[in-house]
Structure 1
Amino acid sequence: MAHGADDRRGAQYSSPPCFMHELEGHADRETPADPAQWADVRRWRKAERERLIEDRLAISAEARGNMSAAIAAGLDTAIGGLRGRTISLYWPFRGEPDLRGWAAGVVERGGGVALPVVIEKARPLVFRSYRPGDRLEKGVWNIPVPADGAEVLPDIVIAPLVGFDAKNFRLGYGGGFFDRTLAALPRKPLVIGVGYSMQSIATIYPQPHDIPMDFVVTEIPG
């Protein structure tokens, strides 16, 4: 399912931080009134992240494979033509949808694939070109990254997520790489979140630094 900016289908409500009624925000973001409240937001996100990852890891390998195939089909529908377009993907980690087979298909259909690489903590990611069979090396968290790929600027960024909300804000792993990278790019790519429908939550309580995805694709056809 592709969830647009105003799509609220499938939202699952979680227990909010107890102080959230005190936040002063606007249509898309809620800004804590003081640093102590932002610390509470971070603690809430950490607990929600742990819950969602645990739920994701509980999905059977067979079910995860079927859902990954459905997400790949959803991406084909959402993106359309691939020829001449560079798509940043990711190496699956901790139960994320496995789109490596789809990545090979992107190359076969004339598109380019890149993988994100952490160069330094608290710095934007870089994207290195990748083709199935290219030499890989261990990156952060031992996630494979291209050893020799040239740096490229993607047209489309496929972003795995831990959770997502009704306004397509992304709950990630807490390192801030996603938002930092998008803010630093010289031109904005199309940003597509991918995950399972059970990762939908009512809100991540977005802050001024959070950048929403353009839409989210799950295993449920939309």
Structure 2
Amino acid sequence: MQDDIPTEAAKYASPPCFMHELSPECRVEAIRSDAWRDVLRWRKAERKRLLDARLALTQHDREARSSRIASMLDVTTSDYSGRIVGTYWPFRGEPDLRNWGTQVFERGGHIALPVVIQKGWPLEYRIWTPGDPLERGVWNILVPAQGPSVQPDIVIAPVVGFDEAHYRLGYGGGFFDRPLAIMQRKPWIIGVGYAQSRIPTIYPQPHDIPMDVVFTD
């Protein structure tokens, strides 16, 4: 289902020590450097907690949840003809949408996979057709061995965590936000993840870019 987060969402496992000082109205404003260090420490701990919970799911459970997410994607957008869809190769228990990606291709869409050029740089998307060669990239993730760099019309963004304002908690490298910030036109950004990854807020900062919608199992 599309996740409309209730106000009674669960409390944080370990909120940053200064968070009581921030009102909801100023959450996206820059904060002082020592407070930002607290946010980074909190995000690191929350990221580990959420990843541990995700990896604890059985393979069968992840497959069932991934199938439900794929169904939600098709309910929202069924016409992919001529569109470039930036999807991903699953990593560390992420929802596996590879079969869904193949269906996008069969319906006339184009698949693009993210490639991390090097740490600290924006990733780029490369066109990939099922059957094209893949190679091991950064973190040993499979990426297209060749293919042109493109700008997707739709970006499917896997989340480690997500909040009620559709801000994404990722792996901490900023790989998704950086390319989105420099794209000539903004793609439609769809977050995908498990419902258990929902948190009240990630305490977004000015460099964080919200997703347009989030789909969960």
Instruction: Please tell me the residue identity of whatever aligns with 1:147.
Output: A
Partner of 1:20: 19
2: distance between equivalents of 1:152 and 1:26? Answer: 36
Q: Which has the higher contact order (CA 8 A, sep 6+)?
A: 1
Letter in 2 for 1:8: I
Residue 54 of structure 1, aligned match among 52, 55, 66: 52
Q: Check whether the contact 1:82–1:109 (CA below 8 A) recurs between aligned residues.
A: yes
- Counting only pairs closer than 5 Å after superposition, residues 54-203 of structure 1 correspond to structure 2 as 54-203=52-201
Please state how far the C-alpha of 1:151 moved relative to its aligned partner. 1.2
SS in 1 for 2:149: coil
The one-character-per-residue Cα deviations of 1:142-172 (angstroms, maximum 9, x if unpaired) are 0000011211110000000100000000000
CA distance in 2, matches of 1:56, 1:13: 18
**Structure 1: 5+ residue stretches without partners:** none
Distance 1:69 1:149 in 2: 28
Q: Which secondary structure state, in structure 2, belongs to the residue aligned with residue 107 of structure 1?
A: helix
25, 28, 37: which one aligns with 1:39: 37
Could you list the per-position Cα deviations for residues 152-194 of structure 1 after superposition, in whole angstroms to 9, with x for gaps in the alignment?
Answer: 1100000001000000000000001111111011110000000
Q: Counterpart of 1:135 in structure 2: which amino acid? A: P
CA contact (8 A) 1:24 1:30 kept: no
- 1:37-89: CA deviations, max 9, x gaps? 10010000000000000000000100100000000000001223111111001
1:2 maps to what in 2? Answer: 2
Alpha-carbon contact 2:154-2:188 (below 8 Å) kept: yes
**How far, CA to CA, are the matches of 1:2 and 1:171 in structure 2?**
18
Query: What SS does the corresponding residue of 1:65 show, helix, strand or coil?
Result: helix
Residue 214 of structure 1 corresponds to 212
8 Å CA contact 2:17–2:38 kept in 1: the answer is: no
Q: What amino acid does structure 2 have at the position aligned with 1:160? A: P
TM-score (ref. length: structure 1) = 0.93
Rounded to whole Å, the distance in 2 between the matches of 1:103 and 1:12 is 33
Contact 1:25 1:31 in 2 (8 A): no
Alpha-carbon distance change, 151 to 201 in structure 1, aligned in 2, over 3 angstroms: same
AA aligned to 1:140 is: V
Higher mean Cα deviation, 13-22 or 172-181?
A: 13-22
Counterpart-to-counterpart distance in 1, 2:166 and 2:9: 11
Within 1, Cα distance between the matches of 2:166 and 2:193? Answer: 12
Q: Which amino acid aligns with 1:127?
A: Y
Deviation per CA, 1:104-130: give whole Å up to 9, x if none.
Answer: 111111111000111122221111001
Q: Structure 1 vs Structure 2: percent identity of aligned residues?
A: 58
Which amino acid counterpart does residue 15 of structure 2 have in structure 1? P
What is the alpha-carbon root mean square deviation over aligned residues? 1.5
